[in-house]
Every structure is written in C-alpha cells, then in structure tokens.
Amino acid sequence: MKIGYYIKKEALKGDARIENLLKRLEAGGVDLYEILGSESCREDTAMVLSFGGDGTFLSAAHRVCEAGLPILGINFGRMGFLAANSPEDAAEAILGGKWEIEELDMLKVECEGTEIPGFWPYAMNEVSLHRDTPAMLGVDVKVNGSPLPTYWSDGLLVATSAGSTAYSLSAGGPICLPAASVRIITPVAPHNLNLRPLVVPKDASVELRGRSRSGSMILSLDNRSYRVPCGTAVRVGAAAFPLRRVSLGKSNFIDALKSRFFWGQDVRNTAD
C-alpha cells in the first residue's frame, strides 16, 4: 500500500508521535512519501495523512482532492473536527483495513471579469465575502436568478452542510448533518434585524455581488483569501468532484458535536 503524508507546520517535522506512526506503517509494508504539492501526488496512492489541525486538512485538500486522493486527518491542532484522529490509533486501523471513505461536497467559485493570480476556485467549508475597511459591506444575493434583499453586514458566506460547523456556526448559521443536500447562506454581523440565514438546495445557483464605499472586498475560500473589486459577480455552485475523507471506523457526527462543542451539556442531562 502506498500512502502520502502532508505536514504544514515546520515545528511538527520530526515530532516523535509522527515519526513513531510512520515507522509503524513502514514496518507493516507501507510505501510512504511526503506530499509537497499537487505535482508530487503518485499513482496508486491509497490515502494521504494530514498531520495538524483542521486548517492543515484544508491545505492538504487543496493539494490532493482534485486527484481524488482520500485524506485522513491526524490531529495535532485544537478542535480537530476534520482532523479527528490520534496518531496512536491510526497505524493499527490503517494496517488492519479498519477505515472507510466518505465523500463531502465541494464548492466551485467563478468570478466574472476578474483575474486573480494563483486562484484555486474550490472550497470545502464555505465561500465568503468580507469588508476590507470599516465601511459596511452590502451584499446582493441571487438564488437561481431571484434576488434576495441586500444584506448589510461585515460580510456573507455560503457554506456546505459539512461546513455548517465551521465559520457559518460562528456567524449564527444552523447545524446540518454532512449528508444533507443543502447550502447555507449566512450573514456575518448583519445590520438587518429582519434578514436571517437561509438554507437552499445543494444544486441552487447562488450569485453574490458586494458594494462598499471602499471599492474592494475580500473573497475567502476556506482558509485562502483574495482582494477583489466590489461589483464582481461571485457565482457559487457545486464542484464536479467531492472531497474524499477517511474515517477510522464508523463516523458519528452527533458524537462529534457533543464531544467537541459540548452540545447539550446540562446538569439535567447527566445520569443519576
């Protein structure tokens, strides 16, 4: 079996827990190599190990998901919602074949009339527009060609169901099961009392246009940001490929909510 691995933070290179995991895999007959960029992906790779937190997982996705390589997140960060596994558990599960692949929707972005150097138009969690000065940002939104009232706010995001527990959650959006076929439109710090987050079908066409006195705005795709002119039509649709995520054993989203967000913690919910 051939496995790639990706380490974003220099401080983690040479970490004893990572070295021990790699040695155990090599002893089990695994052919290991380091992922540096999309060009370094090798044929017949079974999976890619991402060592770090959720941000590192998203950076690994940038490099390998177009090649269709599944990613296993090994947690060396804080929250660990995408990178949910410990290095101590990974070797036995990988060598024993105790892993599954789940497919998560990806978003694709098209920017009308704007050339952005180094632009990679895909996101797993969300696509967002932000103000880039203290001036408020107005975001005009169309869903399948039908205009919504303008959102006046710090910004606005379009999230996948898997991304509902990321930025959208912080902005007051709803939590959705990853298998839900939806998109979530969530304003960031809105100045409208009567405009709320909106859930739309996965195949809906969503177009965003920002306007502000500053003349420019920030377009973010997951953990990557670009400055674009106000008035740019940002069209958000479905990518032609999914992100393939490796889970060790049966993935349980509800258990993850309870353990990472302490969801529903209440003295009345404890056993007597």
* The one-letter amino acid at 83: A
Q: Are strands 45-52 and 2-7 parallel, antiparallel or unpaired?
A: parallel
Instruction: Return the amino acid letter for 63.
Output: R
C-alpha 196: how far from its chain's center? 23
* Euclidean distance between CA atoms 113 and 119, whole angstroms: 14
d(CA 68, CA 61): 10
Catalytically annotated residue among 31, 44, 54, 203: 54
The helix (H) or strand (E) run that includes residue 228 is: strand 224-229
Is residue 109 a contact partner of residue 169, using CB atoms and an 8 Å limit? no
Q: Is 154 a catalytic residue?
A: no
Which residue from 46, 50, 110, 135 is spatially nearest to 84, judged by alpha carbons?
A: 50
Burial label, 204 (beta-carbon count in 10 A; 0-12, 13-18, 19+)? middle
Query: Which residues are known catalytic residues?
Result: 54
